[in-house]
A and B are shown apart, each in its own frame.
Chain A
Amino acid sequence: MEKILVGLKRVVDYNVRVRVRSDGNGIETDGVKMSINPFDEIALEEALRIKERGEASEVIVVSIGPSEAQQQLRTGLAMGADRAILIESAEPVDPLSGARVFLELVNREQPGLVLLGKQAIDNDNNQAGQMLAAIWGCPQATFASKIDIQGSTATVTREVDIGLETIEIELPAVITTDLRLNEPRYVKLPDIMKAKKKPLDITPIADLGVEMASAYTNVAFDPPEQRTKGVMVQDVAGLVDALKDKGLI
């Protein structure tokens, strides 16, 4: 195939303790470490390996997000992607709108494969890949832990609840990646510097002419309830007493 399109979402680094903004309208991201969504980084690593095996000739990384998402795209370019596209949107984009944006890019770029993380660790929606496959009218293989490309066929091992499922799909297709697929590479400083010169195209989301779905609105953001400290009970009788004290039995 010629091209692989990879989605890279800018998210709060997985190791940061997330806090609700003081105005209650979202998550605090000011001064917070941001990274590529880990599942997306795995998708990019896989795309690069497919290219390095000679089964694709170009890897394009795409992000939908604020101007700062250029940082994540530059990191993707430093890992080895050939060029980057930022669809700039100051506002968060829901999965269906995101899928539509990708469909528009698919129509323009005609990739043989779209590789996406199975979900982004910010909203945990796990929807964009499936929706894209549906509106594109192409096969999908989700939760991939192994991908083997032979010509226009992909053999994909999927991590499902009952174990591992191996399926074969025709390309072009959407594949979403799971954690065990690969371990993304480190980036060396010289590659980071080279990546600054690779093409990065920025398009305001409004210019795409894509209909933005607004199927839902955020009502409120609340931090999880603080857990109260546990108590040690001596024995079963103590447990029963403690539960009775709390009026639970």
Chain B
Amino acid sequence: MLLDQLKTIVGDKGWVTDPEALEPFLSEWRDSFHGRAAIVVMPGSSGEVAAVVRACAASGTSIVPQGGNTGLCGGAIPDATGTQVLLSLSRMNRIRALSPADYSMVVEAGCVLADVQAAAAEVDRLFPLSLAAEGSCQIGGNLSTNAGGTNVVRYGTAREQVLGLEVVLANGDIWDGLRTLRKDTSGYDIRQLFIGAEGTLGIITAASLRLFPRPGTLQTALVAVRDPQAAVDLFAVLRGRLSDQVQAFELISDRAMRYVLKHIPDTRCVFAEASPWYVLLEFSTSAAGEAVEHELLQVIESGLAQDVVLAKNSREQQQMWRIRHSISEAQKREGASLKHDVSVPVGAVGEFIVAAEKAILQTFPGARVVAFGHVGDGNVHFNVSQAKSADASHFLQQRDAMASLVYDIVAKFGGSFSAEHGIGALKRDALREYRSETEIAVMRAVKKALDPHNVMNPGKVL
């Protein structure tokens, strides 16, 4: 009955029930989460989303919204009951407005991030959000998880790119908040509630986004450093002297580098001699190419950096980024791994990595720490591969124990156990453990106010 209703709402192109065709929607690419659903609906407009929500709410059926399904915490995967409706925003992929003069654009939730970037570039503007999955992740998912990525140091997270939202609420109302204002103090800033809420408060169907001037030519460099602390110090010095020119500041351990060179085709060694740690640096050089070279030379002379290779063309820039973006893939080929997407204050990144690695090796002898991440914003992907000869499934059973160990150390540094991947189904316990009762109570109050019947992605976040 509900299924027929839904099929009528979204039309022939808008639904999938064939089990084989459903499969790609029901598990994550890293294979950690599998769910079941009787139907995937793919509405073509906000009105259809609203009608789907109303129909589901009337029958007490809960809804799991999904974008490009590139998540890592199960936030967009339905539960195992098979009773939930999966709502894919993929067909809502129009760019509704593009205004270079206003430095803004309005896009639908199903737009692929790379397409949004390209549309902005087409009118000589920059949409700065950039992350490894940008070729398939969708803007709705980016906002719902408050995604981060590699440009946060200069432009902030997904949240900071949002001027306004259009959201379908749990009662089927459409909130049109697609304003493009920079200044707006008219009451509660309710758009912020939906960003990072992972679809538990409503379904983001469109967003007005902030655009930036395109930076001048980008220079990319790989810097060899002695240890993570040197990387942190290097960041402080360079950002101080070059200010907003620093666009990306990514830490890569030698182990991560070796795995990439070993497993990923078309990658090659940048330095003839290995260094224990590397930093991938990117800065815009509107008028200051020489200044950047001068500053980098100074950090070599002061001993903060051991050596620097500057990409001399875009091919080399791409080669350097390919190393950074291939780490997860390379680590997969080294066996099972447990991942911890955490953040600490920028100044504490060095100490955190050393302390956490020491603790891991004490408790899990032979485990191989592969740490990398966005030092410029304090986000560390503290990933651990199984010991070489160990049994993969036994290693994976230690997921919770290892997570507690890492998160406890994160907490000591005043950090977060979830930097940019969200909570999803994976980290709900951690949320309860590491956030105060007061904070959780506020979250519950918000959830109850906006979704009293718990139809919006239940079982996620809270």
A residues bordering B, Cβ < 8 Å? 13-16, 31, 33, 35-36, 38, 41, 75, 78-79, 183, 186-190, 192-193
Contacts and interface: CB of A to CB of B under 8 A. Distances in A.
Contacts of B268: 183
Interface string B299-324: 01000000111111111101000000
Contacts of B300: 189-190
Contacts of A35: 312-314
Given A33-B217, A189-B300, A75 B315 contact: no
A15 B316 contact: no
A75 B318 CA distance: 18
A193 B221 CA distance: 15
B251 interface: no
A189 B314 contact: no
A31 B316 contact: no
Contacts of B23: none
Nearest to B319: A186
Contacts of A186: 270, 309, 311-312, 316
B293 A38 contact: no
Contacts, number: 56
Contacts of A190: 297, 300, 307-308
24 contacts: A13-B314, A15-B313, A15-B314, A15-B315, A15-B318, A16-B314, A31-B217, A38-B313, A38-B315, A75-B312, A78-B312, A183-B268, A186-B309, A186-B312, A187-B309, A187-B310, A188-B307, A189-B221, A189-B296, A189-B307, A189-B309, A190-B308, A192-B293, A192-B310
Contacts of A187: 309-310, 312
A189 B308 contact: yes
A188 B217 contact: no
Given A14-B313, A16-B314, 16 more contacts: A14-B315, A15-B315, A15-B318, A31-B217, A33-B217, A35-B312, A35-B313, A38-B313, A75-B312, A79-B312, A186-B316, A187-B312, A189-B221, A189-B307, A190-B308, A192-B293
A189 B307 CA distance: 7
A188 B309 contact: yes
Contacts of B308: 188-190
Contacts of A78: 312
Contacts of B313: 13-15, 35-36, 38, 41
Interface residues of B, number: 20
A1 B114 CA distance: 51
A122 to B, nearest CB: 14
Contacts of B276: none
A186 B230 CA distance: 23
A188 to B, nearest CB: 5
Residue of B216, B268, B312, B314 with highest tally of chain A CB at under 10 A:
B312
Interface in B292-350: 293, 296-297, 300, 307-316, 318
Top 5 A-B residue pairs of the complex, sorted by shortest distance between their CB atoms: A15-B314, A189-B308, A35-B313, A186-B309, A13-B314
Contacts of A13: 313-314
Contacts of A36: 312-313
Contact of B293 (A14, A15, A41, A189): A189
A186 B309 CA distance: 7
A11 to B, nearest CB: 10
B293 A193 contact: yes
Nearest to A37: B313
A183 B270 CA distance: 12
Contacts of B309: 186-189
Contacts of B318: 15
B457 to A, nearest CB: 33
B422 to A, nearest CB: 33
A53 to B, nearest CB: 18
A142 B293 CA distance: 37
Nearest to B314: A15
B185 to A, nearest CB: 37
Contacts of A188: 307-310
A31 B216 contact: yes
Given A183-B268, A188-B308, A189-B309, A14 B314 contact: yes
Nearest to B309: A186
B116 to A, nearest CB: 17
A144 B317 CA distance: 26
Contacts of B296: 189
A35 B317 CA distance: 12
Contact of B310 (A33, A41, A189): A189
A187 B307 CA distance: 11
A143 B21 CA distance: 49
Contacts of B307: 188-190
B434 to A, nearest CB: 42
Contacts of B310: 187-189, 192
A186 B221 CA distance: 10
B161 to A, nearest CB: 23
